[in-house]
Amino acid sequence: MIKVDGLSHSFKVGKKGNEKEIPVLKNVSLAIQKGEIASIVGRSGSGKSTLLNLVSGYIAPTDGKITVGGTEVTGFSEKEWAALRLDTFGFIFQSFQLIPSLTTFENIELPLTLKGVPSSARKTKVTEMLYRIGLDNHSGHYPNELSGGQQQRVGIGRALITNPEIILADEPTGSLDSETEKEILDLIKELNTEKGITFFIITHDEEVAAFSDRKFVLQDGVLKEEGVPVEI
Ligand code: ADP
Ligand code: MG
C-alpha cells in the first residue's frame, strides 16, 4: 500500500551563499501492506515527521521514490498531491488540529463539504460516525468543551469520514494520559479491523509500537525494521 525506496532528505539551513545541507533521512526503504498497522518509533529529532511529510507530499525528497497503492507519487504535481490527500489519506495529529469555532459535528463534516458531498448525505454519514466514535451525545460541543481523548476521537472521526485507505498519524497519543491513550489505541485497532484501513503511525512511545503489526525504528535518519520484512 505504501512503498518507500531509497528515500533521502536533506534540509538546507543558513544564510544564502553560506548554506549548509543537513541530512535528515538516509536511504530509507520500507513497505507497508494493505490493512496493516505500521509504526515508526524514534527519538525526537530522528526524522519521523520529515518522513511523514514526504509521504504526504508536503516536502519533496532529495532522492528516492514513494509509491502509494501501486502508483508512483514522487513526481506528483501540487494538484495531484491535494487530490491524494483528500481521497486516499486521512490525517490524525498530536494536537488534534480541530477548528475551534466549529462543533464536533461540523469538524467531522468538513472534509465531506470540501469533497462536495450533498448536505443530506453529510448528515447521515456524520451521525453514523458520531455513534461509532462514541460522541453522539457531544455533537454540538466545541473543541474547548471536550476532554483530550474526546478531541482526539473527533480527530479520528474527521480522518475517517471520507473512507480513506490510509491513515497517517503523527504522535496521535502524544498529548494524552496513559489511560486515554489505551482507549484511543483500542479505537484505532477496532477501526483497522472493521474497515481494513492501513495505519502509518509515527510515535516515540514504545506502547504504541507494541500494538502494531509492523514496527520500524528510526535512528539519526536511518530506518531499520524489527522482525522479518515482507516482500511486496
Ligand atoms: P522528529 O519528528 O523525529 O522529532 P523531525 O523530522 O521533525 O524529527 O526533524 C528531524 C531533523 O530535521 C531535526 O534535526 C530538525 O531540526 C530538522 N528539521 C526538520 N524540519 C526542518 C526544516 N524545515 N528545516 C531545517 N531543518 C529541519
Ligand atoms: Mg515529530
Per-residue model confidence as pLDDT tens digits over 140-172: 999 999 999 999 999 999 999 999 999 999 999
* Nearest atom (ligand 1) to Cα of 44: 4
Mean pLDDT, residues 45-61 taken together:
96
pLDDT digits (tens, 9 = 90+) for 67-76: 999 999 999 9
Give all domains of the chain, ordered by start, each with its CATH number. Answer: 2-12+21-225 (3.40.50.300)
Determine the pLDDT at residue 230: 61
Ligand 1 neighbour 152 (Cβ under 6 A) = no
Q: Compute φ and ψ for 14, nearest 5 degrees.
A: 100, 175
Determine the pLDDT at residue 232: 53
Grid-cell match 485497532, residue found: 189
206 pLDDT higher than 90: no
Count the neighbouring beta carbons within 10 Å of the beta carbon of residue 105.
22
Ligand 1 neighbour 49 (Cβ under 6 A) = yes
> In the β-sheet with 2-13, what is the strand arrangement from edge to edge?
20-32, 2-13, 63-68, 71-72
Q: What is the pTM of this model?
A: 0.92
* Nearest atom (ligand 1) to Cα of 59: 23
Mean pLDDT, residues 19-41 taken together:
95
Between the CA of 106 and the centroid of ligand 2 the distance, in Å, is: 28
Determine the pLDDT at residue 227: 74
Q: Whose CA is nearest to atom 25 of ligand 1?
A: 11
d(CA 164, CA 154): 16
Least distant ligand from the CA of 174:
2
d(CA 186, CA 181): 9
Side-chain-side CA neighbours of residue 141 (13 Å)? 15
d(CA 26, CA 32): 19
Ligand 1 neighbour 48 (Cβ under 6 A) = yes
Determine the pLDDT at residue 172: 93
Report the b/e string of 10-25 with b at 16+ CB within 10 A: beeeeeeeeeeeeebb
